[in-house]
Amino acid sequence: MTNPVFLSAFDLTWADLAAVLLFAGGWIAYVYFADSQGQRVPSLHTSMDRFRRQWIVQMIGRDNRMMDVNVMRNITRSSQFFASTTMLILGALIAAMGYVPQAQDLVSGLPFTVKASARLLEIKLLLMVVIFVVAFFKFSWAIRQLNFCGILMAATPKTPVGDPEQLAAHINRIARITSYAGSNFNHGLRSYYFALAAMAWLLHPWLMVVATFGVIYILHHREFKSKTLLALVDEDTSAELKI
């Protein structure tokens, strides 16, 4: 059976096309599932939202907020670390695209691999580049959101003065933006997980499919069934979860 023109133009096989479609569909479907499921059952992100708001409430009553500044600084550093690491990975991937023949020889020499043409190997590397570009945008946006939170925290009065409703709105505003930052950081980390699945495509398209489902399983277990989540949720809720 001959490949259609659009597959032959990129040296793709049906197995490669199926693997890429399952990879992209699995990633999109899991993001949608995690966001919607997190609204119905406890997840790491939604459980931490409650503690984020408690943190801001506790900050209101503190005269010395150096602890809050340090917490915000440490959270921002995590995003900065991954953003800078992502740029290094992008530089390495772009540089690797200039050594496709050497990489082709290296990959084809490994056991249980499908020999790919230079064009197909470039496409595989380009997919990795796209994934880490997405990760960089997520981490950099999380950094900006955390910077906004720092300004809002500095604008918070030392003692609850004025209209209580305005103070509650200010607390909710900071808590929501820190939640948005945490969500973007989470999306950036997911990109790293799915990049590992995409890396399996360098060896074999069906290995990419297996790795994709493996990544989805690991992400689901950690976000919805992990011991860390059990430690965060209330006692009556944790009884319903399985480790």
Split at pLDDT 50, 70, 90, the class of 238 is: very low
Q: Is the pLDDT of residue 222 over 70?
A: yes
pLDDT at 112: 62
- C-alpha to C-alpha distance for 78 and 63, rounded to whole angstroms: 27
The pLDDT confidence band at residue 6, using thresholds 50, 70 and 90, is low
Helix (H, G, I), strand (E, B) or coil at 161: coil
- pLDDT recorded at residue 142: 96
- Residue 12: Cβ-neighbour burial (10 angstroms; 0-12, 13-18, 19+): buried
Alpha-carbon distance of 95 to 130, in angstroms, equals: 15
Q: Average of pLDDT values for 85-104?
A: 84
CA atoms within 13 A on the CB side of 114: 18
On the CB side of 167, CA atoms within 13 Å amount to 15
Which residues make Cβ contacts (< 8 Å) with residue 28, sequence separation at least 6? none
Q: How confident is the model at residue 68 (pLDDT cuts 50, 70, 90)?
A: confident
With beta carbons less than 8 A apart as the criterion, state whether 235 and 218 touch: no
Mean pLDDT, range 108-134, rounded to an integer: 80
pLDDT of 38 higher than 70 = yes
Higher pLDDT, 227 or 194: 194
Tokens 């399983």 label which residue?
Answer: 217
Quote the CA–CA distance of 91 and 133 in Å, as a whole number: 11
Tokens representing residue 172 in the block: 């909710």
Residue 129 pLDDT class (50, 70, 90 cuts): very high
pLDDT tens digit string along 165-209?
778 888 889 999 999 999 999 999 999 999 999 998 888 889 999
**Residue 1 corresponds to which tokens in the numbers above?**
């059976």
